[in-house]
Structures are given as structure tokens and as C-alpha cells.
Amino acid sequence: MKLKRLSIGTFNLYNLNEPGLPIYTDADGWSEEEYGRKIDWTQRTIRLLQPDIFGFQELWHADSLRRALAASDLDADYDLLAPQGANGSGIVCAAIVRKGLLVGEPEWIVEFPDKFVLHSSGDDPQTPAISVDIPSFSRPVLHFRVRPREDQEPVHVYVCHFKSKAPTKVFRESWFRAEDETYGKHAASLGAAISTVRRTAEAAALRFMLTEQMKGNRTPVIVLGDINDGQHSNTANILTAQPRYLVGDSTGGGDVSLYTAQTLQEYRSTRDVYYTHIHQDIMESLDHILVSEEFYDNSRRRLWMFDGMTVNNDHLNFDDHAESGTNDHGVIVAAFKYKPIRAEASNIVEEQPAGRGGGG
């Protein structure tokens, strides 16, 4: 296979579970009618966009995604990646991959890397020690490989879903209940802080894995998912390593850097119109497609050039997801055309600047 164009999407399924099965504290889950509408909207979205790779979040039951794919009449065109244990009792990431692209078997990564550490005694005498002990991802990270072109090495794809901004429910904790009068008024801020720490740790753990994967080689990488944070958030900065975006000659690119499709699209537009979630009338971009330098236009090691992005988000204007079957996130797809950098440009050697933003 030698694709000339590769399309990649990410799709939060909004708690896609079989009807009648519990979802969080909702013991009844989706009714048969609500479920039917969800399956219909999901299959129509898959059929409308049809990327070569579609990463999914908030899947509870593999049969539900299998049913939506079959309803789209595209099940013969895709391999469905979902863990065997996706039986409706928990949330997983999943994917569909166009037939012929998948290399090897997928894996779902639960535990943080063995040598990943978030402990510090402080940078200076005024900074107290800190220790964060979180051993695993809230939602397992899906990792698989694809080979869009047989003359190139496989691309590593990661599908992730990080802890949301919603405050952790600390009122359930024994320390909270023991002093409810003290902590009651602080539940939201304390819970939000815990959620932020967890999300930050998850981003750092995935970045640890990515750096191990990418450092000192030409391994192409794609990260898809709902990171529950914006384009310029600390969460995104950790994941991307804050690369410098060059607009001029093709001499950029960073060894371990990731580039956001959102920024690549902004280079092609006169203004930013990208959002994938609305909360209290605030439009945010929580869902992201991140790509390594092999997919970055101005990289001296470019293999693929950005070819546009679709943001399917009109349904976010209506808060009727149960009635309409829609999800509560925008669905995004980015496309890249195979266009390796000229040989003379790829031979340019540029010393990487030190410090922040030195990712090239």
C-alpha cells in the first residue's frame, strides 16, 4: 500500500454503552430509543467523515461501536480495535483503521512507565518538596501501528483520554466527611485541583513514553484524543514539548516535538474558528490531533504535508444529546498528503536552541 493522502480523526462517543447498562451513577443508562438515536448519529458521522484512522474515547461496550460501524455499511472497510474486556463496565479508548494499514496487534496501556517519577525536593530553599504518586492512567491509552506506505516505516498512533476538568468528588473521602464543616465550602476548588494534578500527571506520563519512542530516531508518531484541555494549556504543552512553528524555509522540526493540527489549520485560515466543547457558554478545544515532525510542513524531515482539517461541531449548539443522539464534543479530522521534503532541504543541519521553545 502506498497512500498519497492519509486522514486521521478523533471522536468522543459520549458514553457509548449498551442500552440499560449503568453509566456512572445513572443505573438505568440509555433507553432503547436513546440508544438507537446514538447508534444512528454515530454511524452517520463515521460515514460522513470516513478517515483512514478514527480514534475514539468514552466507549463502554465494544458491541455498541461494532453495531454503529456495521450500520454505516463500512465494517468491511475497517479493522475495529477495542479491548476484549470492553463489556460495558468501564471506559476505554478504541479505534477503527482502514483495512491494510494496521501493523501487528494493538495494546492498551494502563500503568505509567516504571521509571516515571514526579518527586522533587524543590528548586530553591523557598520551594517545598512535592511528591505525586499516581500509578496509572484514568483511561487506558490505546497504542497501535499503521503503515500508510510500504516504503516507509510504521507510524505509531496513541489514542488518549485524560482526566476531565470536572472537580473530583472529594465529599466522598473520609477526611472530608470527618470535617465537613471545614471542607464543605472548599469542595469545588480542592476537587478541581486534584483533577488538574491527575490530568497533568497523565500528560507527563504519556510524554515520557513518547520521548522514549521518538528520541534520536525518525519514528513518526500521531497522538489523538480528548486531553480535556486547550491548545495552549500546560497539558498540551507537556504533550507537544512546545515546538517552534516556522513559517519560512523548511529547516524546522524537532526530534521529540508534536505539532497540533489546530495550529497547522490556523496557518491556512484568517481566524481561529476551532472549538470542540461548550461549557457554560465557553467554547473550548479539548480534542486534539498531534503529529510528529514527519507530518509538519516546515520540517526538514517532512514526509507528509498538512492538507486541511474538518471540525464537525454544529451539534454543540443544541444541548439535547439524549434526544438527538449526538455527542457533547466536536469530531475532528485532519488530512495529510504524501509530499517528502526536497533532498537538498533535508540535508540542512540546524543547531537546536537551548531552553524553552527549543523543540524547533
Tens-place pLDDT, residues 20-29? 999 998 999 9
Would you state the pLDDT for residue 271? 62
Quickly list H helices, the chain.
Answer: 32-49, 62-71, 174-178, 180-183, 187-214, 234-240, 261-266, 321-324, 343-346
Confidence at 246, pLDDT banded by 50, 70, 90: low
Q: Which residue has the higher pLDDT, 212 or 278?
A: 212
Would you state the pLDDT for residue 313? 80
Architecture of the domain delimited by 5-163+195-346: 4-Layer Sandwich (3.60)
Would you state the pLDDT for residue 276? 78
Asked if 129 and 25 count as a contact pair (C-beta separation under 8 A), the reply is no
Would you state the pLDDT for residue 353? 43
Q: How far apart are CA 16 and CA 86, in angstroms?
A: 11
Average pLDDT over residues 75-80: 98
Contacts of 91 (CB under 8 A, 6+ apart): 15, 57, 58, 59, 60, 139, 161
Per-residue pLDDT tens digits for 227-238: 988 888 899 999
Per-residue pLDDT tens digits for 258-307: 999 988 888 777 665 677 776 766 667 789 999 999 999 989 899 999 99
Q: What angle do CA 22, 49, 8 make, to 5 degrees?
A: 90
Which residue is listed with cell 460515514?
47
User: What are the extents of the domains in the chain?
Assistant: 5-163+195-346
- As given in the structure block, the three cell numbers for residue 13 are 462517543
CA 139 from centroid of its chain's CA atoms = 11
Asked if the model's pLDDT at residue 355 lies above 70, the reply is no
Asked if the model's pLDDT at residue 324 lies above 50, the reply is yes
Would you state the pLDDT for residue 227? 92
Contacts of 97 (CB under 8 A, 6+ apart): 52, 53, 54, 78, 79, 81, 144, 146
Query: Quick one: the chain helix, strand, coil %, rounded to 5?
Result: 30, 30, 40
Per-residue pLDDT tens digits for 16-65: 999 999 999 899 999 999 999 999 999 999 999 999 999 999 999 999 99
Would you state the pLDDT for residue 356? 42
pTM value > 0.75 = yes
Q: Which residues pair with 312 in a beta bridge?
A: 331
